[in-house]
Amino acid sequence: MSVWQRLVALFRLDFRSAFGSLPSLPPPESSAVEEDEQTALPFELEVQKLDYIRYRRKILDWRDEFTVQMLTQGKDFFRQFSEHVEKEADEVGILRKVFAKPAAEVLEDDFFTLVRAPLVDRAKAAEAELTKVIQCLPPTQLPALSLAVDEVDPLLSVLGDLRFRPSNQDELLAKLNNLVFGERGIVDCYLQRAHAVSQALLQTLDAKS
């Protein structure tokens, strides 16, 4: 109804028409509303990101497995070495007890054979496992995957001038235990290296996703 028509209605005292609400817009056709509600909304997440989540998990599982193995097998290797040291100490003659050799000199080779070398082997095996893991990753420029680390204290200088005699056995084993499992020790170096490798891989994947 126009303004003029409303004024006319007012003169005729037809208040309902004069002040009645303005016609509203026609309601949308019910079928159009229903159709709209029947339509799926656009999916706003990237489904490809699921691949990244999966690959990320494979790399983390590899690192977790390596960490557990280095810690548990490292303990086994060190236990065997400790038993060997005890046996050697028992066999030290009276003369050698008095004029004992430096412990580092006596133990260097056995420590290498019973602890260092098996840990190196374990790291090499982990490298091979990682190569298998990355075969399932999307082709990309991969970072260096080597777990090789500099040999920590090759001459066992941690033992200082400690002599190899039964009375020093506990002290020297404690020092060597720290060399294997302590902060910046042999195992720690491998774990840090594995962490760096896995982080580099994850960053590469993250950038690609």
Partner 1 sequence: MITQILFEIPAAYETAVKAGSLIQVGGLLKDGATGKIVAHLQESGVAHSLLSTALAGSSGPLGLATEVLNAGSGMYTAVQVTQMKSMIASLQSLQYATLGVSLVGLGVTVAGFVYMHKRFNALDDRIDELMKSVQSGFASQREAALRAHMSQVKGLVKSVKQAPSLSRPELEYNRVAEAMSEQAAHFEGELEFFIKMDGKMNVEMFWQLAQLLMLSNSVRIDCRIRSNELRNAREISESVGEDYRRLFDTLSVASFHAHEGDGALVTKTLREITDAALTKPYLIEHLRTQRINGSEYIGRLESERTNPLLMLKVA
- Footprint of partner 1 on this chain (CB under 8 A)? 37-45, 47-48, 50-51, 53-54, 56-57, 60-61, 63-64, 67-68, 71-72, 188, 191, 195, 199, 202
CA distances from 131 to 1, 7, 189, 196 (A): 81, 89, 20, 16
Least CB distance to partner 1 at residue 36 (A): 10
Considering beta carbons, is residue 25 or 41 the nearer one to partner 1? 41
Considering beta carbons, is residue 10 or 60 the nearer one to partner 1? 60
Least CB distance to partner 1 at residue 122 (A): 15
Considering beta carbons, is residue 21 or 48 the nearer one to partner 1? 48
Least CB distance to partner 1 at residue 187 (A): 8
CA distances from 15 to 57, 136, 201 (A): 75, 80, 79
Considering beta carbons, is residue 169 or 198 the nearer one to partner 1? 198
Q: How far is CA 192 from the centre of its chain?
A: 10
Q: At what angle do helices 103-111 and 49-90 cross, to 10 degrees?
A: 130
| Contact (Cβ atoms closer than 8 angstroms) between residue 84 and residue 110 | yes
Least CB distance to partner 1 at residue 77 (A): 15
Least CB distance to partner 1 at residue 101 (A): 35
Considering beta carbons, is residue 49 or 101 the nearer one to partner 1? 49
For 67-101, give the DSSP string. Answer: HHHHHHHHHHHHHHHHHHHHHHHHT--HHHHHSPP
Least CB distance to partner 1 at residue 84 (A): 23
Considering beta carbons, is residue 21 or 39 the nearer one to partner 1? 39
| Contact (Cβ atoms closer than 8 angstroms) between residue 179 and residue 158 | yes
List the one residue out of 147, 96, 154 whose CA is nearest residue 123. 147
CA distance 128 to 140: 18
